[in-house]
Structure 1
Amino acid sequence: MSTSFHEIHQSVADAENLESVHDQQISVADVFLSLVRHPTQVIARWNWKSAFLGALLRASFYFTVYQAAREKGIVILTAVLVEVSFRFMTSGISGALVQSFRKARPAWIATIIITVTLPIFSHTVEFVTHYAQEEYFSDVLPAAQNSARQQAFAVSVLVSVLSAMFNIFMMRNGVLLVGAGEDSKSFISDLRNIPYLVSEFTLFLPKQIIIFLKELKFHYAIGSFLFFGFSVGAILGASRGKWSWAYSTTIGSWAILLGAIIIVFAGQQLYRLFSRK
């Protein structure tokens, strides 16, 4: 007897583990229902790959920002250890959540959900942890003296947004998967694929804007260009609470994107020129 569409729909939503669903596409609603009904699957699929890379990235990030702010060595070490202490766990949970949405459709809605919810979750934990460390435990855990925490937090929000987008991009390409059966690859294999995916992710917007320009869709090209700068400026300005940050980072983002567009376009032209020979 054939299975009805409604029964299939119910089976996906009721799945105790989304990785046991072999459908190549799952609706966003079904992913949500599955996670609500079986939240422990996130713990069962705790993504140790994301946890390791996330903790390493954030530790390096905090070290760099605190070092640039000329904080004392003990303050830098404290900030790094505090960050790693919770980031290892939260990055693993976040990685499992991102993986849950890798097959979700519409893809753009899934991306927005991940891009918004994960930074809110992780930075709520980050803010509370570092704030508590500096306000209530500074006698034991030295606090920053040169506003390094505020600077690190502001930039960290932007990093989290980009990281969330990149993580779901990687997982849609089969990288950093855990508990996904044959789709899961070795960590070494994942690391080998990351540089290529970084380049693809980084160059996506410049390439897309060039395509819009070639197709004479100038409103899309201009809109994408402006939206990128305003988004970066809004995130950094709001998280830092300073208009100067919003203004300067918006202008800086546009300058970087414009430079990237010029470089990509020049590279494409050179490739076509030499490929004809």
Structure 2
Amino acid sequence: MVNSDVIHRSIAEAGDLEKIRDGEISVTDVFRSLAHHPAQVISRWNWKSALLGAILRASFYFTIYQVSKESWLVTLGAVIVEFSFRFVTSGISGALVQSFRRASPAWLAMMIVMISLPVFSHTVEYITHYAQENLFSSIFAASENKARQKAFAISVLFSVLSALFNLFVMRNGVMLVGAGSETKSLLQDLKRIPLLIIEFIVILPNAILKSIRTGKILTAVGFFSAFGLSVGGILGVFRGKWSWAWTTALGAWAILLVFTFIVVVVGLFLKSSDE
């Protein structure tokens, strides 16, 4: 039997987690590998996440700014800034998420991604757009109808969900970069995403319900709490308003509770239909 210390050491010495053939890697070993070889995040920069993430976020900002009736000059400035920095950070975030795709226990990897990635991306987002409107307003016009605050608020919830979604699809072999034979073309990935979206919608409610069924109540509470606290906490910290934190957290919990209830009802309906 191979000594566990040898296994941990071999993982830490590997320059890239994708070169490790083990089916599962402990969360501790993932952190150990990233600490010893941080450059792998750059060498495995996820261009798929970068491209799709930048397009989605830029479109998101465009919509919010237009709904807020900002001028075209202000809107285009925000879109350009958002696309530019998201292209860089989404690629890094994608590489980090991919590092955790085989991490175990899965629930811990999920919580780490759900909290750490949004904190990272929104730190950059807040600084970038703040600088845009307060330091470079002569180049990129500042918003006039508080569109930036609105976009940032909604963006936090979107980031938590997108981080979880990225981890989910990568665990299913989609949106991978530098993963050898597991890496598929972007077109092949896009063909699989619609079905994965349907599966993803119920992943967190199912994780909570599974934990309850197996008697892991604290784990279920952890999933539920982490979702709302990560959304509310990030928004509250960056906006500097306690009211934003708790109201957003309550909203996130309400959404999750409703989805969990729907999953229970649908599950009971399908079970009764089979009988």
Shorter-normalised TM-score: what interval?
0.7 to 0.9
TM-score, normalised relative to structure 2: 0.85
Change (3 A) 1:232 1:49: same
Change (3 A) 1:140 1:170: same
The answer to whether the 8 A contact 1:175-1:190 is kept is yes
Distance of 1:216 and 1:38 partners within structure 2: 38
Residue 62 of structure 2 corresponds to: 63
Aligned positions of 1:84-233 closer than 5 A:
84-207=83-206, 232-233=231-232
Deviation, structure 1 residue 246: 4.4
Higher CA-based Rg: 1
Residue 28 of structure 1 corresponds to: 27
Deviation digits for residues 175-212 of structure 1 (CA, Å, limit 9, x no counterpart):
11111012112212211222222222222344455667
The answer to whether the 8 A contact 1:66-1:148 is kept is yes
Change (3 A) 1:104 1:231: closer
Unaligned ranges ≥5, structure 1 = none
Distance of 1:220 and 1:104 partners within structure 2: 17
Residue 6 of structure 1 corresponds to: 5
TM-score, normalised relative to structure 1: 0.84
Distance of 2:26 and 2:40 partners within structure 1: 18
Change (3 A) 1:149 1:201: same
SS at match of 1:178: coil
SS at match of 2:175: coil
The number of residue pairs the alignment matches comes to: 275
SS at match of 2:41: helix
Change (3 A) 1:17 1:62: same
Q: What is the Cα-based RMSD across aligned positions, in Å?
A: 2.9
Counterpart amino acid of residue 163 in structure 1: S
Q: Does 1:43 align with 2:29?
A: no
Unaligned ranges ≥5, structure 2 = none
Greater Cα offset, 185-194 or 18-27: 185-194
Deviation, structure 1 residue 133: 1.1
SS at match of 1:188: helix
SS at match of 2:114: helix
Greater Cα offset, 155-164 or 41-50: 155-164
SS at match of 1:174: coil
Deviation, structure 1 residue 12: 1.0
Fraction of identical pairs, as percent: 57
Distance of 1:117 and 1:224 partners within structure 2: 15
The answer to whether the 8 A contact 1:98-1:167 is kept is yes
